[in-house]
Structure 1
Amino acid sequence: MQGHNLTEVTQFVFLGFSRFREHQTILFVVFLILYTFTLAGNAIIVTVVCTDRHLHTPMYVFLSVLAGSETAYTLVTIPRMLSGLLAQNQPISLAGCATQMFFFIALAINNCFLLTAMGYDRYVAICDPLRYTVLMSKRVCVQLMCGASGIGLAMAVVQVTSIFTLPFCHRVIGHFFCDILPVLKLSCIDTTVNEIINFVVSSFVILVPVGLVFVSYVLIISTILRIRSAQGRKKAFATCASHLTVVIVHYGCASIAYLKPKSENSIEQDLLLSVTYTIITPLLNPVVYSLRNKEVKDALRRAVGRNI
């Protein structure tokens, strides 16, 4: 029976925002505007960092890579979500669903560890400035970026392989993309083992980076408080404020979405959380780093001045 059901279910259909059918046009317009700002903001960051030699430092190299990764992350989910708001019941094949989930997980985890690498960069810059060029050399930066990408790919392989070897009896996904828990609910068999795997992976990719960033900022703050000059303390805090803001929102949303008890899940809550970490959080990155970061704002002014 399980094998029969598995051969029958060859594609899924997203439930998406069908519960808010009367508001779908408004949602489409709002999400499209936010998505356009996200793409434009991240494109500006990548362009400014690449073209302005003043920003050719590890901190801004990490920022440009994060902006590129965030852009790819949104491309995995948002275009299909927008098309789903215009045309209901658009199917996706099992292979397409697995591919979407793979890249979503890989890029999300990559972003988590890139933020951790940026926290380490701030720690070295403030706590050990004399050895900064050695500890944050080009080779170290490449290794950190490759490590973030490698962990994301490895965890994505584990998750997708464990889920898409299951038999599926149902085809309607109560979501707007192939997220882990909504797809697990479609299986014919008990998914306790898969849920444990998901919890272990989620705990690792959230709690380990959070722990490392927390330790980094404890050391950073203790160092800053020892700076005698008020202006020096203010400047040191300013270099960390943008990163810390993004970290709090990013890890906060991820923790609520993937570490909360299963009994607390509801379709409405899941949709709201998913909108937050697929649309709002990627938009936050360029907004925070453009408006709160003096070096980026100065680079933007220089770029505008050259063009004029």
Structure 2
Amino acid sequence: MENVSGSLLQLQGLSLSDSSVLPVFYGSLLSYVLMMLVNLGNCVVILRDRSLHQPMYLLLCNLCLNDIIGGTDILPRLLSDLLRAPEERLISYSACATQAFVAQIFGTTSHTVLMIMAFDRYVAICNPLHYSTIMSGRMIVKLIASAWGVAFVMVGILIGLSLRLSRCRSLVTNPYCDNASLFKLSCESTLINNVYGLLYTALLLSASIGSILLTYVKITLVCLRGHSSSLNRRALQTCSTHLLVYLLLLLSGIMVITLHRFPEYTEQRKLVSIVLFTGPGAVNPIIYGVQCRDIRRAWARLWAPLSMRKRNK
């Protein structure tokens, strides 16, 4: 049994050789800066441009905000720990619990927001005449509130079950705190935690994959029956963007869950879990920026005054 000193915990961090610490540090820092720039940029562009105050772009703004929260929860602390000796990677129990809560909120909200975005695309393509009525401002507020509200309730129960346990260990065998890190600090039975965690994961993934699959099957059927090249082209553009973003999130999560089953790949799992917080967050806004003409035009309008000022100087 490990010695538990006060409320301080020790993060195991990444096991890196001296020659690889700086490359990993600068690579992670570059990923974080890129993620922040593109997500903040998209949020600013969407909020300041009234032509983008549409359901799809407001939902995209929420996705960007969630990526900012998730990356900021993990990366700054991780970057500082990379430059510290292993025995100096200390974190308070309350800070660890907060980090775990925010990390779980990030993962859950990523799925719930993408589910709502799929529903929005379904209404826009399959029922365009009633789109403005169905996806009204009030409906968008309700959908966004439900995306975050469901995440807070589910994650609140998940983390609460871990916080009720007494601690007999002080080593967090991970580069950051997550729910598994919290209940592994206890020597009590974690059966309830494991059962709820399994149900939580199964419910989230089945609802996410099921709704996305059902939505795209219906969209495909509508496109096949419609025989409209313009409709098919619009559907392909908007749906391929959303589907690519969803697959990136799903693939990253599945890799982390799969590597948990193979202890010999512990370090690889740690790296993949970090990429989960930076990779999709940095790539998603770029994908939408490249695919969506309205966002490209809004970016151009944003940069036009800045470029004119530089020329005048």
How much does 1:104 deviate?
Answer: 1.5
Q: Check the 8 A contact 1:206/1:255 in 2, yes or no.
A: no
Larger mean Cα displacement after TM superposition, 59-68 or 272-281: 272-281
Counterpart of 1:298, as a letter, is R
Query: SS of the counterpart of 1:18?
Result: coil
User: Deviation digits for residues 97-150 of structure 1, max 9, x if unmatched?
Assistant: 111111221232122101111000000000000110111001110001100111
- Say which of 9, 19, 23 aligns to 1:22: 19
Query: SS of the counterpart of 1:168?
Result: coil
The corresponding residue for 2:190 is 191
The residue correspondences of 1:1-308 to structure 2 (distance < 5 A) are 8=5, 10-88=7-85, 89-258=88-257, 260=258, 263-265=261-263, 266-307=265-306, 308=308
Distance in 1 between the 2:93 and 2:33 partners? 29
Counterpart of 1:177, as a letter, is Y
Q: Check the 8 A contact 2:14/2:267 in 1, yes or no.
A: no
Q: Among the aligned pairs, what percent are the same residue?
A: 27
Counterpart of 1:17, as a letter, is L
How much does 1:8 deviate?
Answer: 4.1
Query: SS of the counterpart of 2:91?
Result: strand
Distance in 1 between the 2:63 and 2:210 partners? 20
Larger mean Cα displacement after TM superposition, 197-206 or 72-81: 197-206
Larger mean Cα displacement after TM superposition, 42-51 or 245-254: 245-254
How much does 1:72 deviate?
Answer: 1.1
Unpaired segments ≥5 residues, structure 2: 309-313
Distance in 2 between the 1:227 and 1:173 partners? 56
TM-score normalised by length of structure 2: 0.91
Q: Check the 8 A contact 2:259/2:269 in 1, yes or no.
A: no
Count of matched residue pairs: 304
Query: SS of the counterpart of 1:210?
Result: helix
Counterpart of 1:264, as a letter, is F
Larger mean Cα displacement after TM superposition, 23-32 or 187-196: 187-196
Distance in 1 between the 2:261 and 2:148 partners? 32
Q: Check the 8 A contact 1:127/1:223 in 2, yes or no.
A: yes
RMSD: 2.0
Q: Check the 8 A contact 2:81/2:89 in 1, yes or no.
A: yes
TM-score normalised by length of structure 1: 0.92
How much does 1:181 deviate?
Answer: 2.3
Q: Check the 8 A contact 2:4/2:170 in 1, yes or no.
A: no
Q: Check the 8 A contact 1:9/1:170 in 2, yes or no.
A: no
How much does 1:7 deviate?
Answer: 6.6
